[in-house]
Amino acid sequence: MPAPPIDARSQNAHVLGVEPCGEDGVLLRIKPLEPADPLRAGRFFMLRSLDDTAPSIPRPFSVYRQYDDGSIEFLIKVMGPGTRALAGSPPGTELVCVGPLGNGFPEFEADVPRVMVAGGIGSAPFYMAIQQALEGSHGAKVEPEDLTLIYGGRQAGFLYDLEAFMELGVRVLAATDDGSVGFHGNVLDCLRKQWDAGNLPETVHLLTCGPEPMMEAVAHEAAAKNLKCWVSLETYMGCGVGICNGCSLVTRPDGPLGAWPVAKACVDGPVFSTSAIEF
């Protein structure tokens, strides 16, 4: 069984602030007692409130931003008692955080443009991914014109922190089901329209995170065009360190994880090549 990352640790952290974000999200900024080294985009932490009314099982959250002062920010969709407890934490509140966990995005080929396809809260791992691509801090430096984010949601309020993504200086295309912002339709239709209009090169690397049907559709589109594609899975986890088996998924026998019939999103992922897993 693969082991958790050697830099992972369990410790307490203090809440620095919580800001509303979008229709039902927050930006939670915390400072662990022992700050993490610079993190690769796509890695995550397990967070749990110490409030007596909060669930005892932690929740996994992708790192949204990492700051020079050692603090870390998470983009969180408020859905149930666990996320409500985190979202309601006043400054100074102590949380339990376990991490950094997971593999993060790999180093990509420098000369192939990247298209990131996000749905709703699935934009969370892409802010740092874009930052690091522009800086060349994890792999080769990428020019802004070679990075595209297609970001979809049901309506404008579910495009969390859209303005911050636009300020990064890369191409950002919004898509909403109701047409309230950007393209009227889903992200896959938006992606296809860009190809049809000649606005995207035929050969790109696709990265996607969001609802599973959306990721599956993007993966199938990539397969049809013989493109490399990676998914960052939004999987429920109980432990984050490979013990509980709550995030198991089936691998492809002919893929890079074929020796393992079952992979665990927490230690083998959460980022997978679509050649490695079954959808």
Task: Check which CATH number belongs to the domain holding 59 and give it.
Answer: 2.40.30.10
Q: What is the pLDDT of residue 3?
A: 55
In a domain, 270, yes or no: no
Under the banding of pLDDT at 50, 70 and 90, the label for residue 140 is confident
Task: Check which CATH number belongs to the domain holding 168 and give it.
Answer: 3.40.50.80
**Number of domains the chain contains:** 2
Write the DSSP symbol of residue 38. Answer: P
Q: What is the pLDDT of residue 1?
A: 44
Average pLDDT in the chain: 92
- Tens of pLDDT, residues 74-118: 999 999 999 999 999 999 999 999 999 999 998 877 788 999 999
Do both 87 and 188 map to the same domain? no
Do both 97 and 154 map to the same domain? no
% of the chain at pLDDT higher than 90: 76
Write the DSSP symbol of residue 219. Answer: H
Do both 76 and 147 map to the same domain? no
CA atoms within 13 A on the CB side of 126: 35
Do both 125 and 88 map to the same domain? no
Q: Residue 45 belongs to what H/E stretch?
A: strand 44-49
Do both 121 and 230 map to the same domain? yes
In a domain, 246, yes or no: no
* pLDDT above 90 for 256: no
Tell me the average pLDDT across 122-133: 97
Under the banding of pLDDT at 50, 70 and 90, the label for residue 9 is confident
- Tens of pLDDT, residues 30-76: 999 988 889 999 999 999 988 777 777 899 999 999 999 999 999 99
How far is it, in rounded angstroms, from Cα 254 to Cα 274? 12
Q: Which residue, among 220, 251, 221, 247, has the nearest Cα to 233 in the 3D structure?
A: 247
In a domain, 2, yes or no: no
Q: What is the pLDDT of residue 193?
A: 97
Do both 160 and 52 map to the same domain? no
Do both 148 and 119 map to the same domain? yes
Tell me the average pLDDT across 217-246: 92
In a domain, 267, yes or no: no
What are the distances in angstroms from CA 48 to CA 59, 120, 150, 240, 270?
Answer: 7, 22, 31, 12, 19
% of the chain at pLDDT higher than 70: 98
Do both 21 and 124 map to the same domain? no
Residue 27 three-state SS: strand
**Residue at a domain's end among 101, 132, 156:** 101
Do both 88 and 156 map to the same domain? no
Under the banding of pLDDT at 50, 70 and 90, the label for residue 259 is confident
How far is it, in rounded angstroms, from Cα 94 to Cα 96? 7
Q: What is the pLDDT of residue 110?
A: 77
Domain that holds residue 59: 9-101
Q: Residue 14 belongs to what H/E stretch?
A: strand 9-21
Under the banding of pLDDT at 50, 70 and 90, the label for residue 2 is low
